[in-house]
Amino acid sequence: MTGLPSGLPAGFGLPGRSFRGNLHTHSNRSDGAFPPADTVQVYRNAGYDFVAVTGHFRPEFGYPITDTRDLRTADFTTLIGAELHAPRAEAGQSWHIVAVGLPRSWHFADVLLDRGHRLTAYAADDAPLQPQDPLPCQAWVQVRAESLTPEALLAALKSGHFYSSTGPEFHDVRVEGDQIVVRCSPVTKILLTGGHPGAEVAEGGNLTEHAFPLALFQGRHCRLTIEDPTGARAWTNPIHLPEL
Ligand SMILES: [Zn+2]
């Protein structure tokens, strides 16, 4: 995905509200356990606002693009998707770009970002919901959009107006002058990292707010990560900063 948040990382401060969604899941149209309607219901029951059923776009499954439009209601919507597989790419064989759970290292993304690619990354379950699979509803995106429609959600995603989480919540993120100010649910660690070998870190028992200087990251990019006592994390997209 391209697009970037600038002065309003993750879309905080924009009109609308925050919607929770899973952008990567599987139904029995490819290797998932349940029909699309039942797959979607798992997320609905868990309080999500939207889901994308992303079947493997491969010949053995008949190249499915799962039509979930009839599962949309006033308070829940779906995005149409598929999991595409590149047969061969510069960086390796048959790979697909997905974030499963929370990345422990941003190295690869940071290399691409330093080369000038404006990438965003998101968390998702990638849940076929088979008995042997991990539990669903463990990783999601919070999208800031004006309304719960596929059009508004896709526009917000392309603009980078979202953050990803496996637990904690960002309440606000703002660039104010030469600082970045973050407010969040109670966490034990707040990190500011990115295209610089150094990092800014705040640690404590019950952090809900912090302001970091941005000096390390001027002319480059940075991102915020928060971590709660269980080790669950949430993180913003890269925030690209001008040279001072
Ligand atoms: Zn998948």
* Of 20, 83, 18, 74, residue with least CA distance to 48: 20
Domain ranges of the chain: 1-166, 168-237
How far does the centroid of ligand 1 lie from the alpha carbon of residue 119, in Å? 20
How far does the centroid of ligand 1 lie from the alpha carbon of residue 54, in Å? 7
pLDDT for the residue 8:
65
Torsion-angle region of residue 33: left (phi > 0), alpha (psi -120 to 50) or beta? alpha
Can you list the residues of the chain whose pLDDT is less than 70? 1-8, 86-109, 111-112, 119, 244
Close Cβ partners of 172 (under 8 Å, ≥ 6 residues apart) = 12, 13, 181, 182, 183
How far does the centroid of ligand 1 lie from the alpha carbon of residue 13, in Å? 33
Q: Does domain 1-166 have CATH number 3.20.20.140?
A: yes
How far does the centroid of ligand 1 lie from the alpha carbon of residue 34, in Å? 14
How far does the centroid of ligand 1 lie from the alpha carbon of residue 113, in Å? 24
Superfamily of domain 168-237, CATH level 4: Immunoglobulins (2.60.40.10)
pLDDT for the residue 41:
96
Task: Read off the pTM.
Answer: 0.79
How far does the centroid of ligand 1 lie from the alpha carbon of residue 214, in Å? 36
Q: Express each pLDDT in 107-165 by its tens digit.
A: 666 766 777 777 677 777 777 778 888 788 888 999 999 999 999 998 898 888 999 99
What is the share, in percent, of the chain residues with pLDDT greater than 90? 48
